[in-house]
């Protein structure tokens, strides 16, 4: 539907200074540039969306869904990608917005109802994109300067961003197709700045932010990654810690010599740390992968969860609920479905790298399981319940 109203001439402010016609020279603001940068940004958003969905499902696993406990490094790779690609998308988004910003001043602002809605949807897209990247960045430095929960907000705005991207691509499809291939037509102003120059700068920007942070999960690059919030080898026993025993308010409990693990089930029992150490011990090499993007691998030793469950009389297919000494935290209770509980690599770990677990790593006992988000690797375990 055409809007049948006569629009006045653009306000004087849009005809002055940087906004006057002919300001934007060279190839930097051409549709082809928007398409080239947009393709990269679109691919980055797609990777973030898919790995984000996966991460959400792995953290909030629905009862009806069984997830594989292998490969043991699966979550380490997908979540490392999620965070690394999200960081790389920051310069891409900034440049993309800069390439297309002259269109903000297009006159008339809306040519039709459809055009007005399309511009509105771009507003939603930009807002959701900025929201996702900035909340993600704040989360990896564990700073939460907002009054909402990070996880649901980041998750639901991810859907909004995905919807807005899909709509945007659909609306712009003719333009995208038309500029997908390099054209031989000369730039608007051959003496102006070149697209190649811009893309080189974009590539360098992406390279720098990636190298500066990716060492938090690609451990050999730890030294190069000066901006990484975590280094895989810094922390007690050479492993990072998110929440210390002091921070979690569990110091007294973990130092209590009367500590016992309680296991509820058809044949409930309790065990001291010495009794647990007297059971069959196994050593596994598994990574801790924090959802924030850092990860580090280590040797853990302790008792297999499935041995503890068998001792408690758990029937086949039972799953486990694990309780931490830490109260009033999202990590106080963790559910472990059968596919992880019966895995021979899933341990109630008592030792780390051949030494008793440090208090900050979950002493007297913690969970370590293959291919699971760090948030589910419960520390300071005090009680387990077999559920059927």
- Judged by CB under 6 A, which stretch of 4-12, 225-233, 261-269, 323-331 contacts ligand MTE? 323-331
User: DSSP 3-state assignment of 334?
Assistant: strand
Other Cβ atoms within 10 Å of 94 Cβ, number? 14
SS3 label, residue 25: coil
Whole-number minimum distance, CB 378 to ligand MTE, in Å? 5
Of 30 and 292, CB closest to ligand MTE: 292
Number of Cβ atoms within 10 Å of the Cβ of 60: 11
Contact with ligand MTE (CB under 6 A) among 324, 346, 371, 382: 324
Tokens 């055409």 -> residue: 2
CB 122 within 8 A of CB 140: no
Strands 295-304 and 347-352: antiparallel
Pick the closer one to ligand MTE by CB: 69 or 378: 378
Closest separation between CB of residue 256 and ligand MTE, Å? 16
- What end-to-end distance do the CA atoms of the chain give, in Å? 61
Shortest separation between residue 215's beta carbon and ligand MTE, angstroms: 16
**Backbone dihedral angles phi then psi of residue 320, each to the nearest 5 degrees:** -130, 140
**Contact positions vs Mo ion (CB under 5 A):** 290, 374-375
- Angle (deg, nearest 10), helices 150-171 and 113-140: 140
Give yes or no for residue 331 binding ligand MTE (CB under 6 A): yes
> In terms of CB distance, is 242 or 301 closer to ligand MTE?
242
Question: Is residue 91 within the footprint of ligand MTE (CB under 6 A)?
Answer: no
| 242 lies in the binding site for ligand MTE (CB under 6 A) | yes
CB of 223 to ligand MTE, least distance (A): 20
Select from 128, 162, 241, 341 the one that contacts ligand MTE (CB under 6 A). 241
Judged by beta carbon distances under 5 to 8 A according to partner kind, the member of Mo ion, ligand MTE, none in contact with residue 243 is ligand MTE
Whichever of 69 and 79 has its CB closer to ligand MTE, that residue is 79
Instruction: Verify binding: residue 230, ligand MTE, rule CB under 6 A.
Output: no
Residues 362 to 381: which contact ligand MTE by CB under 6 A? 362, 374-375, 377-380
C-alpha to C-alpha distance for 384 and 305, rounded to whole angstroms: 10
Q: Which listed option, Mo ion, ligand MTE, none, makes contact with residue 260 (CB within 5 to 8 Å by class)?
A: none
Among 40, 128, 288, 386, binds ligand MTE (CB under 6 A): 288
Ramachandran bin of 271, using left for φ above 0, alpha for ψ from -120 to 50, beta for the remaining angles:
beta
Chain CA centroid to CA 366, Å: 23
Count of CB atoms situated within 10 Å of the CB of 50: 14
Is the CB of 24 or the CB of 340 nearer to Mo ion?
Answer: 340
Token duo for residue 225: 């990654």
The region that residue 295 occupies, defined by phi over 0 for left and psi between -120 and 50 for alpha, beta otherwise, is beta
Name the token pair of 358. Answer: 């440090």
Which residue lies nearer to ligand MTE by CB, 146 or 246?
Answer: 246
Closest to ligand MTE by CB, 194 or 297? 297
Residues at the contact surface with ligand MTE, assessed by CB under 6 A: 239-243, 248, 288, 290, 324, 326, 329, 331, 361-362, 374-375, 377-380
């Amino acid at each position: 539907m055409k809007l049948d109203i006569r629009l006045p001439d653009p306000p004087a402010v849009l005809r002055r200074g940087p906004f006057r016609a002919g300001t934007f020279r060279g190839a930097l603001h051409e549709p082809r540039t928007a398409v080239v940068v947009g393709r990269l940004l679109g691919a980055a958003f797609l990777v973030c969306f898919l790995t984000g969905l996966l991460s959400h499902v792995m953290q909030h696993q629905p009862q009806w869904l069984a997830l594989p406990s292998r490969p043991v490094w699966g979550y380490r790779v997908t979540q490392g990608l999620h965070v690394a690609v999200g960081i790389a998308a920051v310069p891409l988004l900034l440049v993309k917005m800069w390439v297309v910003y002259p269109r903000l001043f297009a006159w008339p602002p809306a040519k039709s109802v459809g055009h007005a809605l399309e511009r509105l949807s771009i507003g939603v897209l930009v807002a959701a994109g900025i929201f996702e990247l900035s909340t993600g960045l704040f989360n990896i430095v564990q700073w939460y300067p907002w009054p909402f929960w990070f996880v649901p907000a980041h998750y639901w705005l991810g859907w909004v961003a995905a919807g807005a991207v899909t709509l945007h691509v659909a609306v712009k499809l003719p333009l995208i197709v038309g500029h997908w291939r390099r054209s031989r037509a000369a730039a608007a102003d051959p003496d102006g700045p070149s697209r190649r120059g811009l893309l080189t700068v974009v590539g360098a920007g992406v390279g720098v932010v990636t190298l500066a942070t990716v060492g938090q999960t690609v451990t050999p690059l730890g030294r190069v990654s000066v901006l990484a919030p975590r280094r895989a080898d810094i922390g007690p026993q050479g492993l990072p810690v998110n929440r210390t025993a002091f921070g979690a308010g569990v110091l007294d409990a973990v130092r209590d010599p009367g500590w016992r693990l309680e296991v509820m089930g058809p044949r409930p029992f309790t065990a001291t740390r010495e009794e647990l150490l007297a059971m069959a011990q196994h050593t596994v090499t598994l990574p801790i992968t924090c959802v924030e993007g850092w990860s580090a691998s280590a040797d853990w030793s302790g008792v297999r969860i499935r041995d503890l469950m068998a001792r408690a009389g758990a029937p086949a297919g039972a799953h486990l609920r694990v309780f931490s000494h830490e109260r009033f935290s999202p990590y106080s209770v963790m559910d472990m479905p059968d596919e992880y509980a019966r895995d021979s690599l899933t341990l109630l770990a008592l030792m780390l790298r051949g030494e008793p677990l440090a208090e900050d790593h979950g002493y007297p006992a913690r969970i370590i399981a293959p291919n699971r988000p760090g948030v589910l690797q419960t520390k300071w375990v005090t009680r387990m319940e077999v559920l059927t």
